[in-house]
Amino acid sequence: MTAFAAPIAEQIWDMKYRLKEADGTPIDTTVEDTWRRIARALASVEDDSDAWEARFYDALEGFKFLPAGRITAGAGTGRSVTLFNCFVMGTIPDTMGGIFDGLKEAALTMQQGGGIGYDFSTIRPKGAAVAGVAADASGPLSFMDVWDAMCRTIMSAGSRRGAMMATMRCDHPDIEAFIDAKSDAARLRMFNVSVLVTDPFMDAVKEDGPWDLVFDGKVYKTVQARDLWNRIMRATYDYAEPGVIFIDRINAANNLNYAETIAATNPCGEQPLPPYGACLLGSINLARLVSDPFTDAAAIDEDALADLVATAVRMMDNTVDASRFPLPAQEAEAQAKRRIGLGVTGLADALLMTGLRYGSEEAARQTEHWLHAIARAAYLASVGLATEKGAFPLFDADAYLQSGTMQAMDADVRAQIAEHGIRNALLTSIAPTGTISLYAGNVSSGIEPVFAYAYTRKVLQKDGSRTEEEVVDYAVQMWRDLKGDEPLPDHFVNAQTLAPLDHVRMQAAAQKWVDSSISKTINCPEDISFDAFKDVYMAAWDQGCKGCTTYRPNAVTGSVLSVSEASEDAPGEAPEQVRGTAAAVDGEVIYISEPLDRPNALEGQTYKLKWPDSEHAIYITINDIVQGTQRRPFEVFINSKNMEHFAWTVALTRMISAVFRRGGDVSFVVEELKAVFDPRGGAWVQGKYIPSILAAIGGVIERHMIATGFLEGEGMGLKSDPQAQVVNLDDGNRGKACPNCGQYTLHMAEGCLTCSSCGHSKCG
């Protein structure tokens, strides 16, 4: 017998959360050992630690309460890692020294495994005067490039690279460049970016009024608000970024608006935080709490839910005391406010089990009801902790109860807070739960819809072979176990079939009872019109959301895992008997298997690259071959009199040329070279920070590809490739491979490109 509901769950546990010796020898022999380790660590701060360890273990048992990955992997290990997921760094001073002090703090935070957010609105715009040095400012985006290069070199706990969020106010003079920054696919790859949208801006958009771009009291430019809004929308439509954060709404609702001002969020957006703000995460697994699933009596026992929430709140409050922090300022901030982010996962599965169609008005009402019950139980539990252990140090009853969130809270809860105080300033958040949802048996993640009812993944075995296994959604597997071959009911819907406004309805319903924010992706069909796409964002604003993130697959963003209904009947079954089941993801990209022969003569171009502080220039020759009507790169030669570079330039010449001669989409070579960071430091070249000589070479190759028509433009990817034939066996596209496991099971959820096979996520 095993506690795991699916093979993938045990594999994720073993890979991500199981405590092992440095040589890989397991310390946690079973998942029960993992639960015991976490329970003991979080109970260690209690006076009666044995009793609370038992209570905490009971909450963890059966995957009912899921602490976030950093807690699950780090609690009780004795390792120097933070158990907090989310950090927003300090306000960036508009000085060179202050900027690089902030860079150092960011590196220290990511080194311990924290994802960070930064507001770059405080840096003066490009071209502004810099007093005392007779120079113009390079602007915030140039420093974002430096942050991006730094982040590439920092390996987070759990072998993930750091993740960052960059925000900028909608009235900053460089906002247009910020909006367009991610159009270069090789730029700011370690950042998610979001625009801080204010209430006056939204009013101006609706009125089609003028909008001033201002810094330090000076108006640099006036634009039409609707034009700027459309520019944000167009960039998001084309490149999936920037996101939109309704920052005034966040600050008005914030329980702590009397003590802090928020201008940034963590990488996935569910935690708006003040300077040096920190928050930890955990989720109630609703899918495990439904009794009598798929019957008229299906329901969640709300008394049991309230009891589980109370235990989870205590566990998370204890984590504040049990965790390490990268910076003293972060620890001080966490101790002063004791923020926690308790959320849910498995919502879509719970709705399926209770007979509700995700996205319907009835499902939205049920979601609001469940989230209200959780919020109420969480606040009452925190009041109880305040009577026992004291309120958070910055608690001010009158000011606290005046916030927008507390104005909407139940009167009896408000009265309890007024009388006894509250232990945690903020308590609820909906976090990305991609990996822990797989670990819990492939339940639907967060408040997202089920992405695919089933798919096939290839599993690498110890002997090097690969076997195939079916990965089934938790609710679908439960249906199979209870109903056998009965067809799935009509209320079973997934992300492929939902209208975007159904997503908005669900996000808005949950937001009413979430005091922080929500990490959610609104998946849009590729063929959605631009006007309909803009309507999604306006609906999010009108319905009270605190932000909006969408994903529309296209040639620029890339296709991700897609599923389709089974196109052929199973033997002996009628068509409706396979309705709602997801086919395996089919499709294959076929590239040239043998290198092309080299003609006797090729057309080419030689470029001179002068690297600052280097005595000798580097000469780069790129020769092309013409296939049909397309000219494409065939070989590269890199030469320099500097013998220090001889070995690696010869190696680079041979490797790049070998790749070019294989054909297919070789534009990735440019992206990889441009991403190389030299730990000794890069250089400013023609007003742009280049992180290494290799990145500069990549830039030269990219410019050549653009000049010859092989690429559309900088960062735009392959224009067309007659040598790459895409074969689709269904209506979908296999899309990109996961960089961690190589499987073609990437999908966009909760603001993150996430792998269904291994749990890898860009955002941490």
Closest CA to 118 of 186, 198, 215, 193: 193
Closest CA to 117 of 285, 302, 326, 270: 270
* Phi–psi pair at 10, nearest 5 degrees: -65, -35
Separation CA 666–CA 35 (nearest Å): 46
Catalytic residue among 10, 53, 241, 270: 270
Separation in Å, CA 257 to CA 14, 84, 220, 398, 425? 42, 22, 30, 12, 11
Both tokens of 103, joined, read 């860079």
Under DSSP, the state recorded for 443 is: P
| Cβ atoms of 405 and 515 closer than 8 Å | yes
Beta-bridge mates of residue 428: 342
Separation CA 447–CA 429 (nearest Å): 11
| Cβ atoms of 468 and 456 closer than 8 Å | yes
Separation CA 754–CA 523 (nearest Å): 13
CA-based end-to-end distance of the chain:
32
How far is residue 326 CA from its own chain's centroid? Answer: 21
How far is residue 749 CA from its own chain's centroid? Answer: 8
Separation CA 601–CA 635 (nearest Å): 12
Q: Is 270 one of the catalytic residues?
A: yes
Beta-bridge mates of residue 301: none
* Phi–psi pair at 19, nearest 5 degrees: -75, 130
Q: Please tell me whether the peptide bond between 691 and the residue prior to it is cis, using omega within 30 degrees of 0.
A: no
Q: Is 752 one of the catalytic residues?
A: no
Separation CA 559–CA 538 (nearest Å): 25
Catalytic residue among 266, 318, 623, 733: 266
Separation CA 52–CA 315 (nearest Å): 9
Catalytic residue among 170, 268, 738, 752: 268
Compute the radius of gyration of the chain from its Cα atoms: 27
Closest CA to 191 of 263, 118, 276, 108: 118
Under DSSP, the state recorded for 710 is: S
Separation CA 458–CA 483 (nearest Å): 27
Both tokens of 217, joined, read 């009291």
DSSP three-state, residue 369: helix
Q: Is 524 one of the catalytic residues?
A: no
* Phi–psi pair at 293, nearest 5 degrees: -60, 145
Kindly give, in sequence order, each residue whose CB lies less than 8 Å from that of residue 728, ignoring residues fewer than 6 positions away: 586, 587, 734
Catalytic sites, residue numbers = 266, 268, 270
